[in-house]
Amino acid sequence: MSTVSTRTAICESHSKLILVGEHAVVYGKPAIAMPFPLKVRVTIQKAVGPIMFESSIYTGPIDSMTVKMKGIKACIEESLRCVDQPFANLRIRIDSAIPLGRGLGSSAAIAIAIVRSIFSLFQQGLSEEHLFSLVQIAETYAHGKPSGIDTAAEISEYPIWFQKGKEIVPLVIGIPLYIVVADTGRNGDTHTAVDNVRKMYVSETEKVQNSLDEIGTIGELAREALLKGDVYLLGNLLYRNHEELKILGVSDGELNNLVEIARNAGALGAKLTGGGLGGCILALGESLEHAEVIATQLMDSGVSNVWYFSTEENILYSLK
């Protein structure tokens, strides 16, 4: 959604879930990601003076932003250069329902909504490819060497088949999926998790390569399962994917416990989603009612929040 006048532009972006393939995607394996209906809205207004930024984590002049937010600043700078505007005379406000650092792609979503707003305000066309490259400026500061899956999944309105450097393919899923997402409330650390896998790749090459290959195979099989509408096979692949992520050292006790709670509630599949070492798990239910049962059991275990939804409806249920 976007609203534009000569003085103000308001644009949104949604968050994302990685269904299968995180971490292995950094090594060129395929992954599947999909839109998650939590959203961020950015309002940009023309206002004379230095750029002022307003968000839940920082409010003030853009030049005094913390080092952590350097990527957003660089992305804004480059976007303004592209629309022939000075790095000044704006008020940027972020309203986000996406919890930060939980593997839901909050940083990419914020950057997407900012770039869209800048181009809308100055009435410039913006291709998906250009949007992708501008957002990757911010993502590179946030994640080191991001594969680009977060940005691609959040630009898309459909689930995507993603392989680094290759064309992004929208996936038409033949059946509704009933998905539960449980948030540990602990920030994940994608940068550290990706770094740990890289170090482990050096010290235990064969073990890590086997895991990456297995995740690649899981990705191929998951795509077939989605296209055939076989949710039972898909669920089984999610459990298998989680086991591989454990081997790669990016899961932890709480995430493993949540996967087991989902399994005991009859989930067809469950796994951590995103970078890991905190953050969220996702689980697959047989119906919306079943998703609610799984969600309730996860919530009762003391997590910070649980959402569930059907890919057929545009409604996100939250248990908080």
Which chain residues interact with ligand PMV by CB under 6 A? 18, 22-23, 25-26, 103, 105, 143, 146-147, 149-150, 188, 190, 194, 274-275
C-alpha angle 154-244-297 in degrees, rounded to nearest 5 = 70
How near is the Cβ of 127 to ligand PMV at its closest, in Å?
22
| Closest C-alpha to 179, from 37, 276, 52 | 37
Distance CA 281, CA 263 (A): 12
How near is the Cβ of 33 to ligand PMV at its closest, in Å?
9
How near is the Cβ of 276 to ligand PMV at its closest, in Å?
7
Handedness of CA 155, 193, 216, 183 (dihedral sign): negative
How near is the Cβ of 83 to ligand PMV at its closest, in Å?
27
How near is the Cβ of 23 to ligand PMV at its closest, in Å?
5
CB 296 within 8 A of CB 319: yes
How near is the Cβ of 30 to ligand PMV at its closest, in Å?
12
Pick 18 or 255: Cβ nearer ligand PMV: 18
How near is the Cβ of 79 to ligand PMV at its closest, in Å?
21
β-strands 280-285, 269-273: how paired? antiparallel
Pick 42 or 98: Cβ nearer ligand PMV: 98
Q: How many CB atoms lie within 10 A of CB 266?
A: 13
The single-letter DSSP state of residue 158 is: S
Pick 80 or 275: Cβ nearer ligand PMV: 275
Pick 14 or 290: Cβ nearer ligand PMV: 14
DSSP string for residues in 55-104: -SS-EEEGGG--GGGHHHHHHHHHHHHHTT--S-SEEEEEEE-SPTTSSS
Pick 30 or 146: Cβ nearer ligand PMV: 146
CB 104 within 8 A of CB 17: yes
Tokens of 198: 């890289």
CB 44 within 8 A of CB 117: yes
Pick 52 or 100: Cβ nearer ligand PMV: 100
Place of tokens 């409604």: 315
Pick 149 or 298: Cβ nearer ligand PMV: 149
User: Radius of gyration (Cα) for the chain, nearest Å?
Assistant: 19
Pick 36 or 309: Cβ nearer ligand PMV: 36
How near is the Cβ of 316 to ligand PMV at its closest, in Å?
18
CB 188 within 8 A of CB 225: no
